[in-house]
Amino acid sequence: MTAVTTGRSKAFLRSIHIFRALAIVLIVGAHVQPVVDWPDSLTKRLVLGFTNESSTYFMFISGFLFHHLSGRFAYGDYLATKFRNVVLPYILLSLPAIVMFVFVTQRPGLWPGFYDMPQWEQVLAFIVTGKHLAPMWFIPMMVLFYLSAPLFVWIDRRQPVLYLAIIPLLVYATTTGRGGHYGPLNMYVYFLPVYLLGMWVSRNFAQVMAWARRWAWPLGGAVLALYIMYVLKVQAGFTLQTVLKPLSIPLILLAFDRWSTRVPPRIDYLADISFGIYFVHAYFIAASKLAISSITTHAPTSANEVLLPGGLPMFLLVMCVVMLFSAVSIRLAQGMFGRRSRMLVGA
């Protein structure tokens, strides 16, 4: 059985593309928020409700596109492509941060004894865990998904009943959270249900969209209720965002499927370079901290020294600056290296 594509439209496929653009904007927002010295407030929690755990959207889209393109799946070619377009740029773009935190200064927040290890072990540990830059945990985790690709294809083609495992896996994720001592492996287990959900939605797109249209109002009410609970810090006994983000996905798909033709074509480029933005944006967050803090307070010697004072205006300023410079840097890399830019910046 090959990948199911019945019921798909060009508008829907573009809606997935637009969804990817939205996901990277929200992810950047989630990573910008911690660098702003923003006291707890209703406005801050409203923003966090949108941005936090937005990697869930990226993982859903990854599972969806994996299934959508799995009809001609060949494991060797698949791994080679992922190495060129994901692992290689990850290693290259990690080198400046790894050199900094191994040979120049120490990275705060690492486990005890990290800097007692030989330097070559520190380098290897950074590469395996992604601890050198806050967003880079995502790539070691994704490598585990790439290695698991034959299992996912087998489930889809031979044992689709195993998609039912999404439910207990999601329950487990909501009760355990995304942290743990095993780094990428903990993240793999945490995001596995939403990745499988993406595959399942791709497989059953027409039925899922019909269900979402029929139940849009109750679904919207549930999403709104969870969002309000998150904003009000209601203790629910489970991680609210782990449920909120997957429940919001059908509503987002419905909205983009209906209004994708009204979205400006420039958004498509943002989606095209979304992975590249993920790779480089941490450097521009650090640069923004150094530049803005030198103007507003003093000139620090390290991006770890200071948080930027302010609230929503500072958050929006840094977010826009980071998105702009990330996109411009990728555009420059594409202009200089052409198709080889994917091996350097992931786009």
Mean residue pLDDT of the chain comes to: 88
Residue, of 305 and 13, whose pLDDT is higher: 13
87-100 per-residue burial string, b: 16 or more CB within 10 A, e: under 16:
bebbeebbeebbee
Residue 263 reports pLDDT greater than 50 = yes
Cα 148–Cα 30–Cα 197 angle in degrees, nearest 5: 35
**105: confidence class by pLDDT, cuts 50, 70, 90:** confident
pLDDT in tens, 174-228: 988 887 777 899 999 999 999 999 999 999 998 999 999 999 999 999 999 999 9
Residue 59 reports pLDDT greater than 50 = yes
Q: What is the pLDDT averaged over residues 245-271? A: 89
53, 245 Cβ separation under 8 angstroms: yes
Least trusted range by pLDDT, from 27-36, 231-240, 288-297, 324-333 = 288-297
SS3 (DSSP) at 215: coil
C-alpha span between 345 and 93 (Å, rounded): 7
Q: For position 289, what pLDDT does the model report? A: 81
* Element counts in the chain: helices (H) and strands (E): 17, 2
DSSP 223-279: HHHHHHHHHTT---SS-HHHHHHHHHHHHHHHHHHHHGGGS-THHHHHHHTHHHHHH
Q: For position 304, what pLDDT does the model report? A: 57
Q: For position 290, what pLDDT does the model report? A: 79
Residue, of 258 and 214, whose pLDDT is higher: 214
Q: For position 172, what pLDDT does the model report? A: 93
**5: confidence class by pLDDT, cuts 50, 70, 90:** very low
Residue 60 reports pLDDT greater than 80 = yes
Please give the C-alpha separations between residue 1 and each of 72, 153, 155, 160, 306, in angstroms, as whole numbers.
11, 10, 11, 11, 55
Q: For position 2, what pLDDT does the model report? A: 35
Residue 1 reports pLDDT greater than 60 = no
Q: For position 342, what pLDDT does the model report? A: 85
C-alpha span between 330 and 341 (Å, rounded): 8
Q: pTM here? A: 0.90
C-alpha span between 279 and 274 (Å, rounded): 9
pLDDT in tens, 78-100: 999 999 999 999 999 999 999 99
**299: confidence class by pLDDT, cuts 50, 70, 90:** low
C-alpha span between 341 and 34 (Å, rounded): 30
Q: How many CB atoms lie within 10 A of CB 158?
A: 10
Residue 28 reports pLDDT greater than 90 = yes
Q: What is the pLDDT averaged over residues 5-22? A: 69
- In terms of residues, how long is the chain? 347
Q: Can you list the positions of beta strands (E) in the chain? A: 36-37, 308-309
Percent of the chain, pLDDT > 70?
Answer: 93
Residue 300 reports pLDDT greater than 80 = no
